[in-house]
Chains A and B, each alone.
Chain A
Amino acid sequence: MSENLIEVRGLTKKYGDFLAVDGIDFIVQKSESFGLLGPNGAGKSTTMRIIAATSQRTSGEVSVLGKDPEIQGPQIRAHLGVVPQQDNLDTQLTVTENLYIYGRYFGLSKKFINSKISDLLEFAQLEEKRDTKVEALSGGMKRRLTIARSLVSEPDILILDEPTTGLDPQARHILWDRLFRLKEDGITLLLTTHYMDEAEQLCDRLIVMDKGRIMAEGNPAALIKKYSTKEVLEVRFGSNRNAVMAPAMRELCERIEVLPDRILLYTENAETVLENIVAAGHHPNTSLVRRTSLEDVFLRLTGRSLIE
């Protein structure tokens, strides 16, 4: 049985005259892992804040657990664990005190919180730093603490705005694993990311946003299938020659993208295309055959690469 935890219809948000979110619709179901993908300024964080009842919408309808965030903010926030894009830990307090007082903000008892702290410290891999002031933590440690803190109230929905930004690769993989387990426990995840591999790993479904609008929606594999070919050939001719070589490449492949540093050729069989390029007498400095990813979907939809 599916249950809609979050419903967004015709949502817009203006900052002054600037339209940051321009009429978006989506639904997130219980225990689903839902991603918001898009370049800087797409409106991802704005959308997240409106859902998390910390920002007011300009128009449209939003329902979280059947409630309107503008009318029942505290009641909705009691269900949420929020990891904001910018850390807002309590820098005057220690690691443990941060976890403790955050639980107190939710009204939880001392006993309840204290019984959770050691698990949360383990989750954040911060056992050795338990009595360290937050000020003295590294950026990645702060990020992990922020994520652990969001779990103290045992949320039903976890809202993660670029959770792994600033984490080293190992910490990222550990976090993915933890998030995956939370999802198995029935927690609904709503997350934004700039990392395509992260979205492909974590999201059951996602929307691609650009300039406040939704460009596409679906599960990662289906999006790749719909908007891209099976394989990509990346060739580099040197930065000033890529544009010159573009017309020749276009003759050899039905869809290409010319980026400043390389040309991407979208095809079902990249090896054959590469052979044809060499047979036609062109000699790229380097070439790479790979499977297409969400990055390519994004490029197709917006004409821009995701990480600029």
Chain B
Amino acid sequence: MLLSAAVAIAERRSGKPGDHYYAGRSRAVVERSYIAFKSSTWFVILSGFVEPVLYLLSFGYGVGQFIGNIDSGTGKMVSYAAFIAPGLLATSAMNGAIYDSTWNVFFKMHESRLYHGMLATSLGPLDVALGEMAWALLRGLVYAMGFMIVVAPLGLIPSWWGILAIPAAVLIAFGFAAFGMAVTSYFTTFQQMGLINIALLPIFLFSGAFYPLTVFPGWTQALIKALPLWHAIELIRGLTLGAIDMRLFGHVLYFLVMIAGGLFFTTRRLNALFMR
């Protein structure tokens, strides 16, 4: 039998570890998102970018007038706007990633049957999971870069280490995308999906974007420190304010674990859902 191109491509992967789950082609899934995005409304994207800028203007410069300088947590005093800017950057990376990896994924999984179609080809579930997360992560990256372009000229990124906030935002977006998609893949109703939005608001408000955690009693601090957004904010703040120490590695590790866990559970769940 003459080998078709599709077969030759699939055979090249055959025998490699994980060939049952992964065809090494998550790019095709990203490409699909890009084609769909080209004809979608720009303004949804824009709103995710504008939101943190508005917070920055309102709180950083409005409320900031009454607060003056604030202890960054390392003993250095910084302006209030410079204190919250990294918090808002981390939050916008989170929001960008979460939006694509939760509601959009839910729709594709349950309404449009898109993944049924993908998984009938020689793609594997890990390709789909990685591809979708990569897209969500790109969105997080775009938000983070847009925000940086606005805040850096305002002098809110005092340290050159701040450049690393961009790759850090990518890591953070990846972590949230992986986590968001894993959770979504276990949800089956709109009500359950609503929980994600309900959970996000307090996480955003209390994870230390607007003031140091020291205002809270010890047990509350411990709880918040278990949540991903706190690690994200601390990581980015450490970089933008140039407070580099070993704790930053801890935050990076947190996100690496989040990514690995998210990928694992998403792949497993997609396999269970579509290979039933």
Contacts and interface: CB of A to CB of B under 8 A. Distances in A.
Interface of A: 15, 30, 52, 54-56, 71-75, 77-80, 82, 84, 86, 88-93, 97, 100-102, 104-109, 112, 153-156
Interface stretch (B3-11, B50-58, B140-148, B238-246): B3-11
Given A71-B20, A75-B11, A107 B113 contact: no
B35 interface: yes
A74 B20 contact: yes
5 contacts: A15-B276, A106-B5, A106-B10, A112-B5, A153-B122
A112 B5 CA distance: 9
Contact of B6 (A84, A97, A101, A108): A108
Given A78-B7, A105-B123, A107-B6, A88 B19 contact: no
B25 interface: yes
Nearest to A150: B120
B1 interface: yes
Contacts of B19: 72, 74-75
Nearest to B4: A154
B6 A154 contact: yes
A205 B20 CA distance: 32
Contacts of A80: 120
Contact of B7 (A15, A79, A93): A79
Contacts of B6: 78-79, 106-108, 153-155
Nearest to B112: A91
B23 A104 contact: no
A77 B5 CA distance: 13
Nearest to A102: B121
Interface string B26-51: 00110110011001100000000000
B202 interface: no
A96 to B, nearest CB: 10
B64 interface: no
Contact of A107 (B9, B39, B119, B120): B9
B117 A88 contact: yes
Nearest to B29: A105
B7 to A, nearest CB: 5
Contacts of B164: none
Interface string B124-140: 10000000000000000
Contacts of A30: 1
B110 interface: no
B113 A153 contact: no
Contact of B122 (A15, A92, A101, A105): A105
Nearest to B120: A82
Contacts of A78: 4, 6-7, 9-11, 121-122
Contacts of B11: 75, 78
Contacts of B32: 90, 93, 101, 104
Given A54-B120, A107-B23, A75 B14 contact: yes
B113 A73 contact: no
A80 B36 CA distance: 26
B10 A107 contact: yes
A135 B187 CA distance: 26
B10 A74 contact: yes
B69 to A, nearest CB: 49
Nearest to B114: A90
Given A93-B35, A153-B6, A156-B4, A107 B122 contact: yes
B268 interface: no
Given A84-B116, A88-B114, A105-B123, A93 B9 contact: no
Contacts of B13: 74-75
A74 B20 CA distance: 6
The 10 closest A-B pairs by CB, nearest first: A78-B10, A153-B6, A107-B9, A105-B121, A88-B113, A78-B122, A106-B6, A88-B117, A104-B28, A154-B4
